[in-house]
Structure 1
Amino acid sequence: MGGMTEITGSTTDPSAQDPAAAAAAASAPEWEQRFRAPRVSLPDWAEDAPDRALFVSNATGTYELYAWDRATGEQRQVTDRPNGTTDGVLTPDGESVWWFSDTDGDEFGVWMRQPFHGGRDGQSGDEPATPGLDASYPAGLAIGRDGTAVVGRSTDDDGTTVHVVRPGTAPVEIYRHRESAGVGDLSHDGTLIALEHTEHGDAMHSALRVVRPDGTTVGELDDTEGGTKELGLSVLGFAPVAGDPRLLVGHQRRGRWEPMIWDPTTGTETELAIDLPGDVVAEWYPDASALLVMHEFEARSELWRYEPEAGSAPVRVETPAGSVSGATARPDGTVEYLWSSAAQPPVVRSTSGAVVLDPPGLKAPASVPVEDVWVDGPGGRVHALVQRPAAPAEGPFPTVFEIHGGPTWHDSDAFASGPAAWVDHGYAVVRVNYRGSTGYGRAWTDALKHRVGLIELEDIAAVREWAVKSGLADPERLVLAGGSWGGYLTLLGLGTQPDDWALGLAAVPVADYVTAYHDEMENLKAMDRTLLGGTPEEVPERFEASSPLTYVDAVRAPVYISAGVNDPRCPIRQVENYVDRLKDRDAVHEVYRYDAGHGSLVVEERIKQVRLELDFARRHLATGTDPSAA
């Protein structure tokens, strides 16, 4: 069991070794300190070598992968790339680290492999992990105990393919389909492969297929009934013990996500008596005797232990109030989890009472807690999270509506440096879990189809009206902001609700929906066909109604847009089309382009982007303080 540790060697925070840099970092505004403070992810450990772990940290100023030998305390930086690396997996024996190598954040690349302790003479020891497979978008990966790998790939030409790669042999294709799919898991003995697929054409609701390594089918589970029902399934993992073919599966049969156990060799389905509101997911304890249950409800999460064979009720695993963004049960029975709240920065804790990883150097300053607000909207009660500046105590405040991405995601009571920066500058921040958000039941998540974007904005408008009437928000200083899908909703809202917003800040947005569809990665095309009911050629009126470009001439508020030039999700060409239309009519706008993909993994780049947004708001709203001084 890991206790207090330090990140050593090349992972150490540079400011911790340079007194002048440390002093400069400590004297920086608190909002910048929150970004620069070293963070670590929940460590992922090797199934057959639990003292070997892999985690992500920003300790050098860029998010990279680190190997950790918990028995010796040694920690080593695995990857070192200009635009960072976050996708990595340990082999079951802990001997190797697989990591995904793309080009400048474009998400298109190949899997690389290096020894857990690195190569000889200080070299990384990197080598291609799947020779014979061309570059692609990743679509899942599972690695067996004999070195066999099951590799999911997605390309514009081939759709999704799955290959079995055995050491020293050429890859063998066992699956291919035009619709999106992915590798879910590989059984403990390597004889069963679980795939998620959307062959029925609904990219929001997957079906499951378990196959042998030769591609022959063992079992099928499809709650969509060929696409006629909007019920999804997800792979949560095979039982982690030899000779046990049971698969833990997430399902939506009772209007929310919850787990069940499926034996694909017999077809037996075992319902689980976990009676908790909200969404429930789970993973196995290492001996398969129990499940570690994560319960998401109304923007917060908690952990439970459940023993399927005992027939007893789940037992609470005590965690502080807030959000658990990841958890794992260790072989000794303890649970490690990554926890934070809106007010308190993240920390990797253990049920033993220890802090599992505590990186050295600057600690992130706290922020203010969130308040829960429920507003009646056109589709039901809308949940919003509100943060108020500490001073002045009374509103109305200039207010930022920070809209989450996804769209199938949700804002939670978790630490976020971006909203905290706005609060530091005297703004209230409102985050809305609009229809399409997860955590409020299947019907809420699925409600946004066909009138995409417009439905979410109806919920945001309802919360905006509450914010003004309640005295929280100054109606003359309302900012609509967000990244990814939140950036899309920002541009769409500025055009369809031009009287409601004084300013717009859109990061990596969908701006021209038709061009975005044609340029984006293949699995997102499948999602758009599901959301809108077809392609731009098949349902042009829906794409037109949901595209920010349609309404660009109605935009009156100043607009700030930031975009990554290598972004495969919200490609740069469609952003440029929107910007050109703003230019044509001399609309007030600024554009910042940066050399990365769908966001940046470089800390100073993130700080630069927030500083530019804060400054844009200060200049156009005549409010707040200079971001370089606050």
Structure 2
Amino acid sequence: MTQSNGSASPRRGGDMPDWEKRFRAPRVSLPDWAEDAPHRSLFVSNATGTFELYAWDRTTGEQRQVTDRTNGTTDGLLSPDGEWIWWFDDKDGDEFGIWRRRPFAAGTPAGEENPDAPAAPGLEPSYPAGLAVGRDGRTAVVGRSTDEDGSTIHLVRAGQEPVEIYRHRESAGVGDLSHDGSLIAVEHTEHGDAMHSALRVLRPDGSMVAELDDSKGGTVELGLEVLGFAPVDGDTRLLIGHQRRGRWEPMVWDVASGEETDLALDLPGDVTAEWYPDGSALLVVHDFEARGELFRYDLAARELRRVPTAPGTVSGATARPDGTVEYLWSSAAEPSVVRSTSGEVVLDPPGMKSPGSVPVRDVWVEGPGGRVHALVQTPAGVTGPLPTVFDIHGGPTWHDSDAFAAGPAAWVDHGYAVVRVNYRGSTGYGREWTDALRHRVGLIELEDIAAVREWAVSSGLADPQRLVLMGGSWGGYLTLLGLGTQPEAWTLGIAQVPVGDYVTAYNDEMEALKAMDRTLLGGTPEEVPERFEASSPLTYVDAVKAPVYISAGVNDPRCPIRQVENYVDRLAARDAVHEVYRYEAGHGSLVVDERIKQVRLELDFAARHLGTAGASASPEASASTSASTSADVSREVGGTGTAR
């Protein structure tokens, strides 16, 4: 049965349980600011109950909602002059659409007939593949991805037809536009490895300036990423990320001279960076063992100095013209907040405040491919064995961290232990760990999850008769695959926007994900059918014993609905215990009521089958509903690239 977004009117705060308050409490993203008008900012918030874009004039304090769409809006960019907000307009969450441009100030500027006019007239709808906006707010470099054209990049100028400057069948995207608009950085995978990009710098006419490709001639593929041009006119330095020492690190590449400045930062784990506004230093974000911290790196002195932050996760950071740093911070126990090194809370949304949760503890388990890191939360003052949820992250190129997340906190509130596993394929533990899942896709991740499951049971934490395997997107895929390949291990499965039939998913998904799947599995379903079969949950569906709950967005381009239906049909054909919820959105929902409804029904599904406490489902929600992904606001409103 298909149900639309929304639910009954929210209860008053005093009658509302803490788990629901965490979803309803207004949250904000890290504000983006205009380089030439730093008093103007753009951020995302769920203040109205749907995640939308907001303009913020820091001089006057005025905040204005910019977008207002049924299924929400999170993809937006503020032009360097602060005059224009570019936002992506798709249909009901299908991620296929066009960029539009709206003025920062309210109203319609002189000479503009439509405040939401297409920003790139002449370009047909597509999946977005990066955007860089010039200093005038009207010139832009637009990346597109379609099944018919592959990847294309166009230069767009006001009053002129878009000019194609790049095209290739493999995935590619816009990296950045130089400060003076004379250089365009592109990330591409023409070599056929969608997990490891090469870099190309073009002039506005499409001619090549420079190329950097760490994959050439080696048996080990190494990736590169664009972090941004120096924010100074005429400066040809490009800050990039590289994997030459087995992890992500920043490096400065002068695209005119070819000189590479290796920073060689003595920090374990992955490191990324962005420029300080005058180009003299870098703001370094260091991520290690599921936690983050900040540093300032002075390029002339080659000196690294720590920027104080509390223990937890820094989900985003930016250096302001006055030298202060603003950053989005949270921990598993404390909700997200935008802070400044000046000591202030930068952006504090009005209204209900989110309750906190319990902290995580770190567990390291020996797995077949090395030590596996897991994050564990348990109800305060309670000892095991407990009903336990293994909440598996998506991506797979992502990782769980010590960050605030409303979803896991809801399960803890209902008496469950929650275990999150950074399996092989996760980021944050080096290139070899991330790249380890090739060819035996899904099966490798489940080996690591099984090792942590064995620890959880043997340590007395988890009740072996009440184990829930759950996840969204790639985590939903691993849930269905795990229920079929490890049928004795799990009591219950909850798969949110999953892959159930890998071959059909490949045929129906967006082009960038097809490229990723070809890289992961070594070819197409026609070229390596045995690998697709071994990695597809549909292959093992007849072995599933546990009750399974599936939710799916009918407009999802990443885990399309047809392949979900194929899996569900196979469950139904043998009368397996299952429930399905199809909702009118794409890869998850940006509507708070919808998310709450899904989590409520998810909790009640588990309660009915495990004998635990439910969440009192609202009467209008039928039993054939399920859950969607939930996470800290930085995950909810951030771009997901080619991830599931």
The TM-score with structure 1 as length reference comes to 0.95
Alignment of 1:491 with 2:480, yes or no, is: yes
CA drift at 1:311: 2.2
**Which residue of structure 2 lines up, in the alignment, with residue 376 of structure 1?**
366
Q: Which of residues 503, 515, 523 is equivalent to 2:492?
A: 503
Contact kept, 8 Å, 2:78 with 2:85, in 1: the verdict is yes
**Which residue of structure 2 lines up, in the alignment, with residue 8 of structure 1?**
none
Alignment of 1:581 with 2:570, yes or no, is: yes
Matches within 5 A, 1:141-160: 141-146=131-136, 147-160=138-151
**Which residue of structure 2 lines up, in the alignment, with residue 102 of structure 1?**
90
Alignment of 1:137 with 2:127, yes or no, is: yes
C-alpha distance in 2 between matches for 1:127 and 1:316: 44
Alignment of 1:58 with 2:46, yes or no, is: yes
**Which residue of structure 1 lines up, in the alignment, with residue 321 of structure 2?**
331
**Which residue of structure 2 lines up, in the alignment, with residue 127 of structure 1?**
117
SS across alignment from 1:620: helix
CA drift at 1:25: 2.7
**Which residue of structure 1 lines up, in the alignment, with residue 99 of structure 2?**
111
**Which residue of structure 1 lines up, in the alignment, with residue 580 of structure 2?**
591
C-alpha distance in 1 between matches for 2:67 and 2:40: 17
Q: Which of residues 212, 236, 240 is equivalent to 1:249?
A: 240
CA drift at 1:228: 4.4
CA RMSD of aligned residues (A): 1.3
CA drift at 1:353: 0.4
Alignment of 1:346 with 2:333, yes or no, is: no
C-alpha distance in 2 between matches for 1:255 and 1:186: 28
Per-residue CA distance 1:72-95 (angstroms, 9 max, x = gap) = 101100000000000000111000
**Which residue of structure 1 lines up, in the alignment, with residue 4 of structure 2?**
none
SS across alignment from 1:614: helix
Matches within 5 A, 1:215-234: 215-225=206-216, 228-234=219-225
SS across alignment from 1:444: helix
SS across alignment from 1:104: coil
Matches within 5 A, 1:159-238: 159-225=150-216, 228-238=219-229
Contact kept, 8 Å, 1:96 with 1:116, in 2: the verdict is yes
Alignment of 1:401 with 2:360, yes or no, is: no
**Which residue of structure 2 lines up, in the alignment, with residue 443 of structure 1?**
432
Alignment of 1:75 with 2:63, yes or no, is: yes
Q: Percent identical across equivalent pairs?
A: 80
**Which residue of structure 2 lines up, in the alignment, with residue 14 of structure 1?**
none
Structure 2: give runs of 5+ residues left out of the alignment: 1-8, 619-644
CA drift at 1:266: 1.0
Contact kept, 8 Å, 1:223 with 1:229, in 2: the verdict is no
CA drift at 1:624: 2.3
Matches within 5 A, 1:556-575: 556-575=545-564
**Which residue of structure 1 lines up, in the alignment, with residue 273 of structure 2?**
282
C-alpha distance in 1 between matches for 2:340 and 2:217: 43
Length, aligned pairs only? 606
Structure 1: give runs of 5+ residues left out of the alignment: 1-20
CA drift at 1:500: 0.2
**Which residue of structure 1 lines up, in the alignment, with residue 501 of structure 2?**
512
SS across alignment from 2:566: helix
Contact kept, 8 Å, 1:78 with 1:124, in 2: the verdict is no
CA drift at 1:626: 3.6
Q: Which amino acid aligns with 1:211?
A: L
SS across alignment from 1:578: helix
Q: Which amino acid aligns with 2:222?
A: L
C-alpha distance in 1 between matches for 2:563 and 2:116: 36
SS across alignment from 1:471: coil
C-alpha distance in 1 between matches for 2:196 and 2:255: 19
Q: Which of residues 434, 437, 445 is equivalent to 1:456?
A: 445
Per-residue CA distance 1:151-205 (angstroms, 9 max, x = gap) = 0000010000000011110000000000000000000010000000000000000
CA drift at 1:226: 5.8
Per-residue CA distance 1:120-153 (angstroms, 9 max, x = gap) = 49x9821110000000000000111243210000
Per-residue CA distance 1:422-475 (angstroms, 9 max, x = gap) = 000000000000000000000000000000000000000000000000000000
CA drift at 1:355: 0.3
Contact kept, 8 Å, 1:200 with 1:227, in 2: the verdict is no
SS across alignment from 1:220: strand
C-alpha distance in 2 between matches for 1:40 and 1:550: 42
Task: Note closer, same or farther for the CA distance 1:165–1:626 as it changes in structure 2 (3 Å cut).
Answer: closer
CA drift at 1:627: 4.1
C-alpha distance in 1 between matches for 2:114 and 2:396: 38
Q: Which amino acid aligns with 2:289?
A: E
Q: Which moved more, 1:147-156 or 1:494-503?
A: 147-156
**Which residue of structure 1 lines up, in the alignment, with residue 357 of structure 2?**
367
SS across alignment from 2:92: coil
Q: Which of residues 606, 610, 627 is equivalent to 1:621?
A: 610
CA drift at 1:41: 0.3
Task: Note closer, same or farther for the CA distance 1:75–1:227 as it changes in structure 2 (3 Å cut).
Answer: farther
Q: Which amino acid aligns with 2:258?
A: G
CA drift at 1:118: 2.3
Q: Which amino acid aligns with 2:307?
A: V
Q: Which amino acid aligns with 1:163?
A: H
CA drift at 1:578: 0.1
C-alpha distance in 2 between matches for 1:311 and 1:77: 42
SS across alignment from 2:559: coil
CA drift at 1:628: 4.9
Q: Which amino acid aligns with 2:349?
A: P
C-alpha distance in 2 between matches for 1:133 and 1:228: 39
